[in-house]
Structure 1
């Protein structure tokens, strides 16, 4: 049986991948972010369809559980397809930027984050526009997607931040763990578990929650673009705290302390 890689080996692998992402052209970064936005919408839609299918026969809790189980496939598509959500660019590129020890690395990191976040949302919006067309989804799925958007918008601002911290920590942990495995099956399993837990919370990922709210706006739910904008700001701040401080920084300290 192969031995699991050490934290130092995982960090070295992350730094190498981060170098690739930081050095990629703006077009490559943008296209990767766009595809991830398109892809994650399939998880959102799967959640809406499955919750609707079980709603008539089971309790709301069962519907939410089944919806979370369905959402996991969206993150599998993103990870196995080697596309990138905003939070996936915390651990690897930050490790590379720290190793470079140059001010230019901070600028490259900022460009990567901005491009991926914006194109995640743009790609997701394009796919959401397809799925919001009448009769594209099974009957009732639109109602459920609108309901999920209202549930997200109804949360207190502080709760959005703390749920954002949880989401940022979870998906950055996923980025770390992906360097500990070397098969597509293992990557898919890790992504599915993380996606399930993200939706089960539900925790606020800046892209996923933002696209849920966009569905709500376009489907006539009691939410607006102001709710979407506020969620992006609060969830994004939480994602940064969880992903950078609670996960990336602590793993960097762990490795440096062992050297």
Structure 2
């Protein structure tokens, strides 16, 4: 290397502008993928994210009844996100930032159609994936009666919130997932730590994540504890709106605002 050429700085942090360009490029690639690829990646993400409920339930039933049982069991909530994010599967709440940043840079009819296509396919695929996982867990008999009872137990707090409360609790969940996506380019070998920190806060805060919440809702629905209309309208719709508000309207706008004068 010539002495006149700049040398790379070891462990230098990635700039906000470079992070924006990285996420924007990922979003453009995702919107250009065939619909079939998006669908199956979304289904895989729905099934994988369901392990958050499974792992949390297994920890809950394995730990003694004590004040620290709940915060320790909450670490299980992070498992599904690690699988999905590191597996590069299509998760709807990740797309509230990855697909939106390209839209902010180039707002036109074509971009709006692309993001609508991406969001609708991925969201429906995620819901189908969690429904498959819930059916396999309950109806097919994947879990023992004790384990199934634990999965239902960790899912019941979903029913404690009213419609507006679920929406409001969905906002920080969307924000933290979008923040996780924004931080990953700077993680450099600490990706699991970044994912765990962001999603553990969602778990211990009792915030509403629409895809994980759909696994919880479907488990309770199959157990006869909630009607399908109440599960969809009362639990998933407000969580969906809150996640979009937190990930797109709040975090993505702030992320774009800090770099918009530095990008082409």
TM-score, normalising length: structure 2: 0.90
Which position in structure 2 is the counterpart of 1:80?
86
Alpha-carbon shift at residue 122 of structure 1 (Å): 0.3
Give the alignment partner of residue 27 of structure 1, picking from 36, 42, 50. Answer: 36
Aligned-partner Cα distance in 1 for 2:118–2:85:
18
Which position in structure 2 is the counterpart of 1:225?
228
SS in 2 for 1:10: helix
Which position in structure 1 is the counterpart of 2:132?
126
Which position in structure 1 is the counterpart of 2:159?
153
Q: Is the 8 A contact 1:19 1:93 kept in 2?
A: yes
Aligned-partner Cα distance in 1 for 2:12–2:80:
30
Give the alignment partner of residue 44 of structure 1, picking from 35, 39, 53. Answer: 53
SS in 2 for 1:179: helix
Between Structure 1 and Structure 2, the one with more helix by share is 1
Aligned-partner Cα distance in 2 for 1:149–1:98:
36
RMSD of aligned Cα (Å): 1.7
Which position in structure 2 is the counterpart of 1:190?
194
Number of equivalences: 253
Give the alignment partner of residue 210 of structure 1, picking from 209, 214, 220. Answer: 214
Alpha-carbon shift at residue 165 of structure 1 (Å): 0.3
Alpha-carbon shift at residue 258 of structure 1 (Å): 4.9
Correspondence list, 1:57-136, <5 A: 57-59=64-66, 61-133=67-139, 136=142
TM-score, normalising length: structure 1: 0.92
Q: Is the 8 A contact 1:37 1:123 kept in 2?
A: yes
Q: After the TM superposition, which segments of 4 or more aligned residues of structure 1 sit over 3 Å from their partners?
A: none
Structure 2: 5+ residue runs without aligned partners?
1-9
Bigger shift: 69-78 or 134-143?
134-143
Q: Is the 8 A contact 1:49 1:138 kept in 2?
A: no
Q: Is the 8 A contact 1:48 1:145 kept in 2?
A: yes
Q: Is the 8 A contact 1:168 1:239 kept in 2?
A: yes
SS in 1 for 2:260: helix
Aligned-partner Cα distance in 1 for 2:27–2:118:
11
Alpha-carbon shift at residue 203 of structure 1 (Å): 1.0
Name the CA shift for 1:49/1:133 in 2 (closer, same or farther; >3 Å): farther
Structure 1: 5+ residue runs without aligned partners?
none
Q: Is the 8 A contact 1:47 1:71 kept in 2?
A: yes
Which position in structure 1 is the counterpart of 2:15?
6
Q: Is the 8 A contact 1:174 1:194 kept in 2?
A: yes
